[in-house]
């Protein structure tokens, strides 16, 4: 049986974690097949309790991995006994829970032990392996402990405000004006915490809304100045167009998770 399930984090984690998604393919229904994921403005922490899956180049992924802000579609392949749960982090979640690592994880999937330390990584992996039927609870406990233990930088409050403003802003300059900072200062702030600039963050939010709309059967032009702009962004970041994607249909993983949680897009 192939299992796809969605779990909610505890309420104190809601600003930092969009959801926990579990994918279990121990029967091998997807084994060897490419599975595509969309760019997203947040990050993804993945805990494997089965055999780790493989990246598009065939390399095994780490048992505990952190994928930073993803600006291009990427692929992975299910493996023998694939079984994992992902914590889909918001931009604030990456900045608050894993400070100081943004530039090293943007568009990169790394061994989370290199970010949090081997002892902390082993604690989470051991807890998850011992509690396969309560993975969300194990993640809750580990992430809540990080909220308490991890030192917060002085700019985190301004970054939180900037992250909110850039979700729906029309232009970076307008967001900077609202926040009362220069565009250069806003650029340094966002790059410090996410590893990308504010214009790219704004574009990723637009693309996220557009993809969500197309997956829901709408035209998906939300936030783009015109259809040509939308198509250019889709081609650049998703390697397809809204029309082609709509005709081709969503993957079973996209059907499952976008149907259960339309607020978050990840699988294509």
pLDDT of residue 220: 62
pLDDT of residue 221: 66
Tokens of 259: 């149907």
* pTM summary value: 0.94
Average pLDDT over residues 238-247: 92
**Top-confidence residue, 263 or 237:** 237
Q: Is 234 helix (H, G, I), strand (E, B) or coil?
A: helix
- Output the average pLDDT for the chain: 91
Whether 211 and 238 have beta carbons less than 8 Å apart is answered as yes
Is 69's pLDDT higher than 90? yes
What is the spatial order of strands in the sheet that 34-37 belongs to?
Answer: 34-37, 74-77, 54-55
Exposed, middle or buried, 252 (CB in 10 Å: 0-12/13-18/19+)? middle
Q: Which residue has the tokens 């900077």?
A: 176
Could you tell me the residue ranges of all domains in the chain?
A: 3-149, 156-196, 199-260
pLDDT class for 17, splitting at 50, 70, 90? very high
Average pLDDT over residues 216-243: 85
Average pLDDT over residues 154-175: 95
Q: What CATH number should be reported for the domain whose range is 3-149?
A: 2.60.120
Total length of the chain: 268
Q: Which residue has the tokens 């802000």?
A: 69
């Amino acid at each position: 049986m192939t299992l796809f399930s969605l779990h909610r984090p505890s309420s104190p984690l809601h600003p930092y974690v969009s959801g926990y998604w579990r994918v279990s393919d121990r029967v091998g229904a997807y084994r060897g097949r490419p599975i595509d994921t969309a760019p997203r403005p947040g990050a993804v922490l993945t805990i494997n309790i089965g055999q780790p899956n493989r990246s598009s180049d065939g390399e095994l992924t780490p048992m505990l991995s952190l994928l930073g802000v993803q600006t291009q579609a990427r692929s992975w392949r299910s493996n023998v006994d694939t079984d994992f749960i992902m914590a889909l982090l918001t931009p604030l979640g990456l900045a608050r829970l894993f400070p100081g690592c943004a530039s090293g994880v943007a568009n990169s999937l790394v061994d989370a032990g290199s970010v949090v330390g081997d002892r902390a990584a082993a604690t989470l992996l051991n807890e998850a392996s011992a509690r396969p039927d309560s993975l969300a609870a194990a993640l809750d406990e580990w992430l809540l402990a990080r909220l308490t233990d991890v030192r917060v930088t002085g700019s985190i409050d301004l970054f939180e405000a900037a992250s909110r403003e850039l979700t729906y802003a029309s232009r970076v300059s307008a967001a900077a004006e609202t926040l009362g900072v220069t565009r250069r200062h806003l650029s340094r702030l966002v790059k410090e915490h996410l590893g990308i600039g504010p214009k790219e963050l704004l574009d990723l939010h637009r693309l996220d809304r557009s993809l969500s709309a197309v997956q829901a059967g709408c035209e998906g032009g939300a936030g783009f100045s015109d259809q040509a702009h939308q198509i250019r962004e889709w081609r650049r970041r998703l390697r397809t167009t809204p029309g082609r994607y709509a005709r081709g249909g969503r993957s079973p993983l996209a059907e499952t998770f976008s149907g259960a949680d339309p607020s978050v897009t990840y699988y294509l």
